[in-house]
Amino acid sequence: MPNRPPTDHALPVRTRDALRAAQLYYMQDLTMEAIAHELSTSRSSVSRLLSHARESGVVEILIHSPLEGPTRLEQEIRERHGVTAHVVPVPDQTSDVERLDRVAMTAARLLSGWVDSNQRIGIAWGSTIGAVSRHLPQRSTHNTEIVQLNGAGNMRTTGIMYASELLTRFGAAFDAPVHQFPVPAFFDDPETKRAFWRERSIRPVLELQASLDLAVFGVGSPFAEVPSHVYQGGYLDRADYRVLSEHGVVGDVATVFYRADGSSDGIPVNDRATGPDFDTLRRTPRRVGIVAGRAKVPGLRGALRAGLITDLIVDESTARELAGTASHRVTE
């Protein structure tokens, strides 16, 4: 039988009330006090209903700037790096924790508009994407799949719960099945990785990763105030850090490391990493990099030089530093 839209009576009571409150507030310009009177409830309850309407996707808010085209800062980043930048206004004095949350909230809203039916969406777990997953509004899709990009296990834990919770939020937000990648973040031996990659149970996920429509990831950095999960979750030991330092590593995308010039070849840890190699990742038409915090600028520059990002969502002060220093020679 064909799918039919839910009737008013089939909707949850809270969603139905939120829908009515949103119609009165946004379509009829009633005040919250007037809505509270009409719904026989309190003003604070109306406020919560309107918040629920936004968070559940009942209401989508679009801001049309009177300025034509992107802002000057976004335009400068586009001209220098060839990416579409979305700069999130955040005061300079804001802590990196709050900065990340505000960037994540904007990123979640933007992703909701980019994800569509009949797509394969690759998600790289991490602190930034975990924050994004908590702000995703509801948007039903058809025949869309969520694909985990990198393994999550380490010496302390399988990582299944951490990655699964994050991916489940994406699946729930877009009403899409989730394909988990049940391997460690790093194998102990490159030969073990090569053997796993030949397994019939692993091949389907690798094939999905190689045919994505959209990839979503943060830029990992050992320098950030909000540590990237790979740097503080027991994934690397002292020997790994020594090797990364010797090779001039400035960051990672999906647990694959790179240098300031964007190169990733010859870094031994990458031979054991389970994230997609950069040639595979670059075949994805839309690659969304989400960055918060000026400490991540060295890693962001490297990711841009590697050609990993097509759409950048970044806070204002980080964007200013990127634009102001992008033309300088990198010495990190």
pLDDT in tens, 52-85: 888 777 777 766 555 544 588 999 999 999 999 9
pLDDT in tens, 144-167: 999 999 998 765 554 455 788 999
At residue 82, what is the residue type? Answer: G
Whole-angstrom Cα distance, residue 301 to residue 329?
Answer: 11
pLDDT in tens, 6-61: 545 556 788 888 888 888 888 777 888 888 988 999 988 999 898 888 877 777 77
Q: How far is CA 259 from CA 68, 88, 131, 251, 253, in A?
A: 36, 26, 26, 7, 12
Six token digits for residue 236: 């690397």
∠163-260-148 over CA atoms, to 5°?
15
- Coil vs helix vs strand at 251: strand
CB atoms within 10 A of CB 225: 15
| Residues 323 and 110 sit within 8 Å (Cβ to Cβ) | no
Evaluate if residue 325 carries a pLDDT over 50.
Answer: no
Whole-angstrom Cα distance, residue 104 to residue 58?
Answer: 20
> According to the model, what pLDDT value does residue 154 have?
62
Mean pLDDT estimate for the chain: 86
CB atoms within 10 A of CB 190: 14
At residue 285, what is the residue type? Answer: P
255: Cβ contacts below 8 Å, ≥ 6 apart: 124, 150, 151, 185, 186, 220, 230, 235, 273, 274, 275
H-type alpha helices, the chain: 13-22, 32-39, 43-55, 72-81, 96-114, 127-133, 160-174, 190-197, 203-209, 229-232, 238-246, 278-282, 297-305, 316-325
Q: Which of 132, 162, 134 is nearest to 148 (CA)?
A: 162
35: Cβ contacts below 8 Å, ≥ 6 apart: 21, 24, 25, 46
Which percentage of the chain shows pLDDT scores above 70?
86
Whole-angstrom Cα distance, residue 186 to residue 241?
Answer: 13
Q: Is 100 exposed, middle or buried (0-12, 13-18, 19+ CB in 10 A)?
A: buried
pLDDT in tens, 114-151: 999 999 999 999 889 999 999 999 888 999 999 999 99
Average of pLDDT values for 178-187? 92
pLDDT in tens, 75-111: 999 999 999 999 999 888 888 889 999 999 999 999 9
